[in-house]
Chains A and B, each alone.
Chain A
Amino acid sequence: MDIWYLICDLIPLEMLRWDFMRNALLAILLMAPLFGILSTMIVTGKMSFFSDALGHSAFTGIAIGCICGVAAPTWVAVLFSLVFALLFSFVRSRSDQTADTLIGVFSSTAVALGIFMATLGGGSFTKYNKYLIGDILSVTPAEIGMLALVLLGVLAFWSIYSNRLTLTAIHPQLASSRGIPVGVSQTIFTATIAVVVTLSISSVGLLILNSLLVLPGAAARNVARNLKQYHLFSVGFALLSGISGLVVSYYWGTSAGASISLSLAILFASTFCFRKRRA
């Protein structure tokens, strides 16, 4: 962190005189590639709604962890999200209901369970608000370290498995005919999203998380012509909106999460206007 603070000292920007802004900027620099990359596959695999549901299930896991008196509720949440994701994959493979219906079923159940547990015995719900709203401006160096580890893990996973995931997402039958175990691939990706979402949610909040998991990929899909451009645009858009959102938030006093999400929405709208121009 000291090296990062030294670098920030060299940048003549007023907002970077504050440690919380320095931390937030570093978190954005780590989150942009992390969520930019995952976003491409979430959009291609039509899992946007699912990633949103996972965010809610993560909150439920944290509530359960707190109730059980576990010292680190995040790890209970990771476990809960994994169970949620694997159970969803299992039911989806054996049900004739559409994926969006099943996601609705799982999401409602998870949220209801979380609120039920949190309010059991007349407890207050408000103490969990920080997990739902979360704030990138209050991210701690320890949480930044966690984001860096998650990013490294995802990059390693992506370098090994992204070709198989892409083929599974764009054409499961073709993937199967090439010897790729489609069900296993889908489950591995679902579990990865579950872990990443849960580990990041308490640091950055549900609002930024859901925006960053869907909007960069959706905007990039409007203009990219191949996988390389898709990833570059997605990561670039996540970075651009993250930094511009932070700047807007600092100078206008607005919520950082909302500013970043709105920047992404503007990028999506802009790319939407240019989508016809690609080959």
Chain B
Amino acid sequence: MKLFFHGGGCGDSCCLRVQDLSVKIGNDTILHDVDLHVHCSQLVALIGPNGAGKSTFLKAVLGHVDHDGVIAFSSPGQRDRRPRIGYVPQSPTFDPGDPVSVADLFACCMSRRPAFLGLSKSMRKTVLECLERVHGEDLIDKRVGTLSGGELQRVLLALALEPLPNILILDEPLSGVDVEGMSVLMDMLDEIRKTYDLSILMTTHDFSMLERYADQVVLIDHTVLAQGTPQEVLTSEPFARTFHRKGGM
């Protein structure tokens, strides 16, 4: 496994470069020969059937699974520093009975002061500022188990944005979110990407949002089958073959 920072190849605008990546778990090859470039401030969507290795790819980028090949980061002005990665995990469900408020969740993640003592004034102000980024200030005192799918994704997004990362990784952020919530969430991601100049890498099963929001789409089924603009990938032959469709959407 190699992990390094680079400035060459696709130049300063390349934020994440993956080359010849392969991941094996036991005797099973989950991913092989994966090449991928994520340019700065781009939203890149990974699509593929269930079991294609999308989540494993994200875990490899996060350093949570062993892999072969190259995963290289660079960020303008920060080449000598380890990139900060914000991560929103898949299927974030909480027990509806747990007496843990959104404020408690932030305090557990961000503060050294025990959350059971309550939030200090400054911590509460910080949490409100974080929630403001996702237009979720009104959620601060709600219990996490009672949030809707869309609200929970916004809260977890706000958590992933503190401290502000260089690259944001989301695993199936649209699952469990209703159609209206999807648009709200994608609009928010788009706004955050532009405001903070963030690169976003996300997996999704929902293709309806791709053309409007994604700069690049990568079709994965253990290896990269197609990549390019949403239009190019959604009308490609590998896409049709993979999803048993003729042509695009």
Q: Is B104 an interface residue (CB 8 A)?
A: yes
Q: Is A226 an interface residue (CB 8 A)?
A: yes
Interface size on A, residues (CB 8 A): 27
Name the contact of A177 in the complex, choosing from B89, B115, B142 (C-beta under 8 A): B89
Kindly supply a per-residue 1/0 record for chain B positions 98-115, scoring 1 wherever the CB is within 8 Å of any chain A CB and 0 otherwise. Answer: 111101110111011011
Most buried by A among B62, B105, B108, B146: B108
Q: Once the chains bind, are A170 and B114 in contact (CB under 8 Å)?
A: no
Q: Once the chains bind, are A229 and B89 in contact (CB under 8 Å)?
A: no
Tell me the smallest distance from the CB of A95 to a CB of chain B, in Å.
17
Q: Once the chains bind, are B100 and A170 in contact (CB under 8 Å)?
A: yes
| A163→B94 CA distance, assembly (Å) | 16
| A229→B108 CA distance, assembly (Å) | 15
Q: Once the chains bind, are B156 and A228 in contact (CB under 8 Å)?
A: no
Q: Once the chains bind, are B87 and A226 in contact (CB under 8 Å)?
A: no
Q: Once the chains bind, are B94 and A226 in contact (CB under 8 Å)?
A: no
Q: List 25 A-B contacts (CB under 8 A).
A: A44-B95, A44-B100, A163-B114, A164-B108, A166-B115, A166-B116, A167-B105, A167-B108, A167-B109, A170-B94, A170-B98, A170-B105, A171-B94, A176-B64, A177-B87, A225-B99, A225-B101, A225-B141, A226-B101, A226-B103, A226-B118, A227-B115, A228-B116, A230-B100, A279-B142
Q: Given A173-B92, A174-B89, A177-B89, do A220 and B115 touch, yes or no (CB 8 Å)?
A: no
Q: Once the chains bind, are A227 and B142 in contact (CB under 8 Å)?
A: no
Given A162-B116, A166-B104, A174-B89, 15 further pairs, Cβ under 8 A: A44-B98, A158-B116, A163-B112, A163-B114, A167-B109, A170-B95, A170-B100, A174-B92, A174-B156, A221-B97, A226-B101, A226-B118, A230-B116, A279-B143, A279-B146
Q: Once the chains bind, are B92 and A226 in contact (CB under 8 Å)?
A: no
Is the contact region of chain A dominated by helix, strand, or loop, or is it mixed?
helix
Q: Once the chains bind, are A221 and B99 in contact (CB under 8 Å)?
A: yes
Q: Once the chains bind, are B99 and A230 in contact (CB under 8 Å)?
A: yes
Interface size on B, residues (CB 8 A): 32
The 10 closest A-B pairs by CB, nearest first: A224-B99, A226-B101, A230-B99, A163-B108, A228-B118, A231-B116, A227-B104, A227-B116, A167-B108, A173-B89
Residues of A at the B interface (CB closer than 8 Å) are 40, 44, 158-159, 162-164, 166-167, 170-171, 173-174, 176-178, 220-221, 224-231, 279
Q: Is B117 an interface residue (CB 8 A)?
A: yes
Tell me the smallest distance from the CB of A217 to a CB of chain B, in Å.
10
- Contacts between the two chains (Cβ within 8 Å), count: 81
Most buried by A among B94, B95, B146: B95
Q: Given A171-B92, A173-B92, do A166 and B108 touch, yes or no (CB 8 Å)?
A: yes
Q: Which residues of A contact B103 (CB under 8 A)?
A: 226
| A186→B92 CA distance, assembly (Å) | 19
| A278→B169 CA distance, assembly (Å) | 35
Which residues of B54-71 have CB atoms within 8 Å of chain A's CB atoms? Answer: 62, 64
Tell me the smallest distance from the CB of B134 to a CB of chain A, in Å.
16
| A40→B144 CA distance, assembly (Å) | 17
